[in-house]
Amino acid sequence: MALIVQKYGGTSVGSTERIKIVADHIKKTKSKGNQVVAIVSAMAGDTDKLINLARGLSKSPSEREMDLLLSSGERISSALMAIRLNDIGTKAVAMTGRQCGIITDSVHTKARIRSIDADKIREYIDNDYVVIIAGFQGISEINSDVTTLGRGGSDTTAVAIAAALRADLCEIYTDVDGIYTADPRIVSNARKLDKISYSEMMELASLGAKVLQIRSVEFGMKYNVPIMVLSSFTYNPGTLVTKEDEDMEKILVSGIASDKNQARLKISNVDDKPGIASKIFSAVADNNINVDMIVQNVSENGKTDISFTVPKDDADKALNILNDLSRKLHTGSVSYNKDIAKVSIVGVGMRSHPGVAAQMFKALSSENINIRAISTSEIKVSCIIDEKYTELAVRTLHKAFGLEK
């Protein structure tokens, strides 16, 4: 007998018809002799609908109330799922985040899970129930207020519950078949991966492959939870996200990712002396803007240029901050460019194979794609290019690294 945690995303439970189909699958999993805990997302579109309702009433709705509001989407789908399961003869209970002991910090709308007291869930599964859990939510340690875990947070609920229960497997059901070597909408012969390491998945998730919330992968890695990503529309074998193994290291590049949600800002002619970068990036961080790539040029005559990328939505805010600083620090001009994108290659094999970056640059240059900035980590090389070349770059790299079917 195995303990299986399943998570069903918004499209998987997007209608009562879909809920019936998923309930049948849960019933089938259970009748094979497994214990089953299922986490559900809100029905497709519901979270957005709730956000829009609030925005219609206030430009900046209070975050505590947003959490109370948004958590209701998952309450609905979890209750409906349990109602259906009971109707088809499978004993089920639905539980909110609070009821199943998920304690978070108090950062409303993007809370982090602190602890899970899984006793109640255990009691139910030991008594032969299927437990359906409303994803994406918990309660804060301090005030017991309802919190939510950020967009896509049900993935994290699922993996965290799987870790707390020491489940044998965490299955994430979605509307794609698994993790691909590139976005199949861009590269028609992209290949589904049988398995991928946690660290590669983390890079791909942060690079805009939105299949899993990044924190769920962090949890998986920390507690060694095998995560299977698969489709609730086809039930084909999916992609296993797991520990690194020797096979994975033999492969140079596992996947190509792209992210158009990037803008580049540049502040020129700043003094090249200690404390300047700190002033600039503290100001940006104080405004909760996530900085990605940073490039500082070698200085000439004691002056240098600093450029960096931020998510497009934050570009205007970042520009205002820089303009402010530019006046205070007597720098040169501030400029920005929203028509850029980031393309990246990811693979644990890079660690042991030299020349991978060079191969990437060569492939891009063969298509005359200019590289505007580069950053690397142990298992990733990213290039900033003009946005209009994104698809061409992804296809070119996919081919250059032999990833096609």
Q: State the residues that interact with ligand ASP by CB under 6 A.
A: 10, 41-42, 47, 73, 135-136, 151-155
Q: Tell me the number of residues near Mg ion by CB under 5 A.
A: 2
- Given the rule CB under 5 A, which of 150-158, 182-190, 196-204, 331-339 is the region that contacts Mg ion? 150-158
39 or 346: CB nearest ligand ASP: 39
Segment 6-25, which members bind Mg ion (CB under 5 A)?
Answer: 9
Q: What is the DSSP string of 93-146?
A: EEE-TTTTTEEE-S-TTS--EEEE-THHHHHHHHTT-EEEEE-SEEEETTT--E
132 or 205: CB nearest Mg ion: 205
Least distance (Å) between residue 211 CB and Mg ion:
7
The Cα-based distances of 304 to 221, 232, 264, 297, 300 in angstroms read 40, 53, 17, 6, 7
257 or 293: CB nearest Mg ion: 257
Bridge partners, residue 35, by sequence:
3
Judged by CB under 5 A, does residue 152 bind Mg ion? yes
Binding partner at 151 among ligand ASP, Mg ion, none, C-beta below 5 to 8 Å by kind: ligand ASP
Using CB atoms, what's the residue nearest to Mg ion?
152
Strands 102-104 and 113-116: antiparallel
The Cα-based distances of 158 to 70, 207, 330 in angstroms read 18, 22, 50
Binding partner at 349 among ligand ASP, Mg ion, none, C-beta below 5 to 8 Å by kind: none
Cα gap 400→273, rounded to integer Å: 42
Q: What is the DSSP string of 58-73?
A: -SS--HHHHHHHHHHH
DSSP secondary structure letter of residue 180? B
Binding partner at 220 among ligand ASP, Mg ion, none, C-beta below 5 to 8 Å by kind: none
67 or 203: CB nearest ligand ASP: 67
Burial class (CB in 10 A: 0-12, 13-18, 19+), 143: exposed
The Cα-based distances of 364 to 35, 55, 359, 369 in angstroms read 50, 42, 9, 5
Binding partner at 145 among Mg ion, ligand ASP, none, C-beta below 5 to 8 Å by kind: none
Least distance (Å) between residue 110 CB and Mg ion:
15
Binding partner at 75 among Mg ion, ligand ASP, none, C-beta below 5 to 8 Å by kind: none
- Given the rule CB under 5 A, which of 64-72, 126-134, 151-159, 249-257 is the region that contacts Mg ion? 151-159
Least distance (Å) between residue 384 CB and ligand ASP:
28
Q: Are 314 and 289 in contact (CB under 8 A)?
A: yes
Cα gap 254→388, rounded to integer Å: 24
151 or 260: CB nearest ligand ASP: 151
152 or 238: CB nearest Mg ion: 152
Residues that bind Mg ion (CB under 5 A): 9, 152
